Structure 1
Amino acid sequence: MTRNTALAAVATLPLMVAACGTPQERCISQNTGEYRTVSRLLAEVEGNLARGYAWEERQVVRDRLTQCRTYVRDSKGRAIATYEPCWRDYVDVERYRVPIDPAAEQRKRDNLAARKAALGARAASAVQACRAAFPEEQG
């Protein structure tokens, strides 16, 4: 498998996994995405308020000493692989604390809670409709 073929296979993996769900599961997932997003954001804001700070991430490039393969030719012209130490860059993700404005976080929490309540009824009716559209999967 060539490198481009392997990259294409890896890139399509999320699509293949998403296609594995039953029609009912796909219907429910498609129609409740916003509700799940708002719920996740609300949980994050409530966690920030409970801790008193938020977490953020940043990417940091660091050097790492590793073994690099090089090729040299012997007297007969054959390629011989040799290994020698070399420095390589790698990307590391750091989490760090960020101070929050409690009043702004509370307003955000209140708005997200109101949005979640509004989306809750719509999500429940979408789930009911998906279950009615695909009754063979009830069990």
Structure 2
Amino acid sequence: MRRFLLISCLALAACGTPYERCNREAARFYADALQEQSRISRDLARGYTTVTEWETRRRWQLCGIYHEHPHYCWRTDTEPVTRRVPVNPYELHRRLDEISAALPQLGRDAAAGQAECRKRFPAEVAAETPPQG
């Protein structure tokens, strides 16, 4: 029981302080938009995107030794297969323009949310700020 409690406390501590969680949540949409903008730019530069699909295949494998003779059987394996898919550059440029237009407002919203977090958790902000001088 003690071990479970210790592991639970460590897992909870790994999630971050309430101030860090608040900051992360406040900037989530802005960070997601930046990441999407980066992905679209990369796909436009390459001319394709990658898609991962899971395929199930059957394989004839050695299953064991029975009376000193090899015993074979069919095994089913599910493996990821990554494929290149051509992109529609017009659609991606349209999406990139939408994201670029939304980024300034998302940045302002993130900054306002982080300012609210600093107001809600002043003790943690003071602990993070290095002394000036």
After TM superposition, the score normalised by the length of structure 1 is 0.68
Counterpart residue number, 1:7? none
Q: 88, 92, 103: which is aligned to 2:75?
A: 88
SS in 1 for 2:84: strand
Partner AA of 1:123 in structure 2: A
| One-letter amino acid of the structure 2 residue matched with residue 121 of structure 1 | R
Whole-angstrom distance in 2 between the partners of 1:18 and 1:55: 36
1:132 corresponds in structure 2 to 119
Q: What TM-score, normalized to structure 2?
A: 0.71
Q: Which residue among 15, 28, 32 is the counterpart of 1:33?
A: 28
Paired residue secondary structure (1:60):
strand
TM-aligned CA deviation for residue 59 of structure 1: 1.0
Task: Out of 90-99 and 59-68, give the one that drifted further.
Answer: 59-68
- Letter of the structure 1 residue corresponding to residue 26 of structure 2: N
Partner SS state of residue 16, structure 2? coil
Question: Which amino acid in the other structure matches residue 86 of structure 1?
Answer: C
Stretches of structure 2 lacking an aligned partner (at least 5 in a row): 1-7, 65-69, 129-133
Task: Name the CA distance, whole Å, in 1 between partners of 2:39 and 2:13.
Answer: 25
Residue 84 of structure 1 deviates from its aligned partner by: 4.2
In the alignment, structure 1 residue 101 sits paired with structure 2 residue 88: yes
What is the count of residue pairs matched by the alignment?
114
> Which stretches of structure 1, 4 residues or longer, exceed 6 Å deviation after superposition?
none
Report the RMSD for the aligned CA atoms in angstroms: 2.7
Q: Distance in 2 between matches of 1:31 and 1:119?
A: 10
| 1:35-114 correspondence runs (5 A) | 35-66=30-61, 68=63, 84-114=71-101
